[in-house]
């Protein structure tokens, strides 16, 4: 078992090596797919408190975004640690039991297996993890979405880490001026391309503009330090059938040579269109909102993003701040709702309805079969 909280940094001082994990799953909706029942949150908190007491975790925070149960964990066990993944799996399994008892909707939806097999890969829950030496001060944002596909972070991560019109630090702070490296997953055949910016901006955009096929998986500083990670698991590909959109999450480190907290938040000030919304089959604007408002309603949406800010202290998460609750995002939400009206008026027509290969539900084959008989 690894327990390397303290390592010697190259400055010759002891500092904390910490792993942050965001691990999430929809194990039952309250009501329909609109929210997470308080009893699920309560059960998850109790189980994680036990694990913290037993020394497995340094700290934890349980949150929800829509019908997704979000476990934010800090520990010293590194990425993909078996015991941390098993803990999260057991929390989701226990919460599935609670959800079934309450007859919540689609209880156990994202747990594709009853048995833990060594890591969460292929089991349904989304996860993203990052290990680093805690800096003198370490501000971290955890952004979580509901009713959205995994490509939802491509645009805001590009803006935060590569667009000088969003992040002036790229131009005026010598510590950011060299740019960042984007690790892009080709979701069709599981290859990762590492693209340096600003040099590779056009190559990067050529790929990540196709949000259904290419996903920003991580962003690194030019010295290799990982500064942002995203969940890239695509549920439907894992299950081979529709089991809900991926509802991704990401972790972003900020300040002191990285984009400022406000520069990262600014990347969410445009309610860009994402794939998801009703039946995972519609394009709709992503609404940044407070955790308490992350309860998709109209047309099972619109897609939501919440952002919790943590100021780490020796691996402890402390109290999070609800970053999108700020009034400064009111106008973004108003613009988002106007975009909803506009998109909804298309009804079942593209581009509101996704193209056939990106829709999660489709009757197209049956319809074609029916006409094949009469043609
Ligand atoms: C989208 C989502 C919902 C459902 C919709 C129909 O990710 O979860 O929009 O697709 O409510 O759900 P079912 O087919 O379970 O009735
Ligand atoms: Mg659901
Ligand atoms: Mg969801």
Please name every residue paired with 273 in a beta bridge, in sequence order, or none if there are none.
285
301 pocket-lining for ligand 1 (C-beta < 6 Å): no
26 is catalytic: yes
Contact between 108 and 125 under an 8 Å Cβ cutoff? The reply is no
Q: How confident is the model at residue 295 (pLDDT cuts 50, 70, 90)?
A: very high
What does the pLDDT look like over 73-128, one tens digit per residue? 999 999 999 999 999 999 999 999 999 999 999 999 999 888 998 999 989 999 99
Same domain? For 146 and 107 the reply is: no
If one counts the domains in the chain, the total is: 2
Stated as kind and residue range, the H or E segment containing 63 is strand 59-65
245 is catalytic: yes
The rounded distance, in Å, linking the Cα atoms of 9 and 13 is 6
Same domain? For 152 and 18 the reply is: no
Same domain? For 189 and 217 the reply is: yes
147 pocket-lining for ligand 1 (C-beta < 6 Å): yes
Where does a domain end: 110, 133, 156? 133
Where does a domain end: 106, 133, 160? 133
244 pocket-lining for ligand 1 (C-beta < 6 Å): yes
Same domain? For 267 and 227 the reply is: yes
Secondary structure class of 208 (helix, strand, coil): helix
Same domain? For 179 and 110 the reply is: no
What separation in angstroms does the CA of 161 have from each of 58, 128, 170, 175, 220? 29, 18, 8, 13, 10
The answer to the question of residue 373 being in a domain is no
Half-sphere CA count of 367, side-chain side, radius 13 A: 4
The answer to the question of residue 109 being in a domain is yes
Note the residue count of the chain. Answer: 375
282 pocket-lining for ligand 1 (C-beta < 6 Å): no
Cis before 252? omega within 30:
no
Cis before 284? omega within 30:
no
Same domain? For 221 and 345 the reply is: yes
Residue 355 is given by DSSP the state P
Same domain? For 71 and 151 the reply is: no
The per-residue pLDDT for 23 is 98
Half-sphere CA count of 273, side-chain side, radius 13 A: 18
What does the pLDDT look like over 169-227, one tens digit per residue? 999 999 999 999 999 999 988 999 999 999 999 999 999 999 999 999 999 999 999 99
245 pocket-lining for ligand 1 (C-beta < 6 Å): yes
What is the CATH number for 32? 3.30.70
Q: Whose CA is nearest to atom 5 of ligand 1?
A: 279
What's the domain range around 272?
136-354
Those residues whose beta carbon sits under 5 angstroms from the ion ligand 3 are 26, 66-68, 146, 247
Tell me which residue of 234, 263, 228 sits closest to 248, measured CA to CA: 234
Same domain? For 177 and 225 the reply is: yes
298 pocket-lining for ligand 1 (C-beta < 6 Å): no
The answer to the question of residue 77 being in a domain is yes
The answer to the question of residue 369 being in a domain is no
The per-residue pLDDT for 30 is 98
Cβ neighbours, 10 Å, residue 287: 27
Angle between helices 154-162 and 201-208 (to 10 degrees): 170
The answer to the question of residue 314 being in a domain is yes
Please name every residue paired with 23 in a beta bridge, in sequence order, or none if there are none.
71, 127
What does the pLDDT look like over 32-83, one tens digit per residue? 999 999 999 999 999 999 999 999 999 999 999 999 999 999 999 999 999 9
Q: Whose CA is nearest to atom 10 of ligand 1?
A: 279
Same domain? For 185 and 73 the reply is: no
The per-residue pLDDT for 375 is 67
The answer to the question of residue 366 being in a domain is no
Cβ neighbours, 10 Å, residue 139: 19
Same domain? For 171 and 280 the reply is: yes
Q: Whose CA is nearest to atom 8 of ligand 1?
A: 244
Atom of ligand 1 at shortest distance to CA of 244? Answer: 7
Contact between 307 and 141 under an 8 Å Cβ cutoff? The reply is yes
124 pocket-lining for ligand 1 (C-beta < 6 Å): no
Q: If you average pLDDT over every residue of the chain, what do you get?
A: 93
Secondary structure class of 315 (helix, strand, coil): coil
pTM for the structure as a whole: 0.95
Q: What is the mean pLDDT of residues 340-358?
A: 95
Phi-psi region of 154 (alpha: psi -120 to 50; beta: other; left: phi over 0): alpha
What does the pLDDT look like over 221-268, one tens digit per residue? 999 999 999 999 876 676 666 666 689 999 999 999 999 999 999 999
Q: Which of 173, 203, 242, 322 is catalytic?
A: 242
Same domain? For 341 and 282 the reply is: yes
Contact between 349 and 281 under an 8 Å Cβ cutoff? The reply is no
The answer to the question of residue 57 being in a domain is yes
Same domain? For 129 and 175 the reply is: no
CA of 16 relative to ligand 2 center, distance in Å: 37
The answer to the question of residue 115 being in a domain is yes
Atom of ligand 1 at shortest distance to CA of 360? Answer: 10
Cβ neighbours, 10 Å, residue 124: 22
Where does a domain end: 115, 133, 151? 133
Q: Whose CA is nearest to atom 2 of ligand 1?
A: 279
Residue 318 has pLDDT above 50, yes or no: yes
């Amino acid at each position: 078992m690894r327990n390397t909280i303290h390592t010697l940094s190259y400055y010759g001082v002891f500092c904390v090596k910490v792993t942050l994990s965001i691990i999430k799953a929809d194990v039952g909706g309250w009501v329909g797919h609109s929210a997470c029942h308080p009893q699920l949150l309560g059960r998850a908190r109790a189980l994680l408190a036990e694990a913290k007491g037993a020394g497995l975790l340094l700290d934890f925070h349980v949150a929800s975004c829509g019908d997704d149960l979000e476990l934010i964990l800090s520990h010293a066990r590194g990425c993909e640690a078996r015991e941390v993944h098993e803990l999260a799996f057991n929390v989701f399994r226990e919460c599935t039991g609670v959800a079934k008892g309450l007859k919540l909707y689609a209880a156990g939806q994202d747990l594709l297996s009853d048995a833990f097999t060594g890591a969460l890969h292929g089991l349904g829950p989304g996860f993203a993890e990052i290990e680093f030496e805690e800096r003198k001060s370490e501000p971290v944002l955890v952004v979580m979405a509901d009713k959205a596909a995994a490509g939802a972070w491509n645009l805001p991560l590009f803006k935060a880490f590569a667009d000088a019109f969003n992040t002036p630090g790229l131009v005026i702070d010598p510590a950011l001026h060299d740019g960042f490296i984007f690790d892009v997953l080709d979701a069709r055949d599981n290859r990762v391309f590492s693209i340096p910016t600003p040099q590779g901006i056009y190559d990067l955009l050529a790929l990540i503009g196709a949000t259904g096929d290419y996903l920003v998986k991580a962003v690194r500083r030019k010295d290799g330090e990982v500064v942002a990670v995203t969940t890239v698991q695509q549920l439907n590909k894992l299950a081979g059938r529709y089991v809900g959109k991926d509802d991704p999450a990401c972790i972003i480190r900020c300040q002191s040579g990285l984009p400022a907290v406000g520069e990262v938040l600014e990347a969410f000030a445009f309610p860009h269109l994402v794939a998801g919304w009703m039946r995972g089959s519609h394009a709709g604007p992503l609404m940044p909102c407070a955790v308490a408002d992350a309860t998709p309603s109209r047309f099972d949406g619109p897609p939501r993003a919440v952002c919790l800010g943590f100021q780490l202290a020796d691996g402890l998460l402390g109290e999070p701040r609800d970053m999108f609750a700020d009034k400064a995002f009111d106008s973004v939400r108003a613009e988002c709702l106007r975009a909803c009206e506009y998109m909804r008026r298309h009804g079942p027509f593209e581009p509101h309805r996704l193209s056939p290969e990106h829709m999660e539900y489709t009757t197209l084959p049956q319809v074609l079969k029916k006409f094949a008989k009469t043609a």
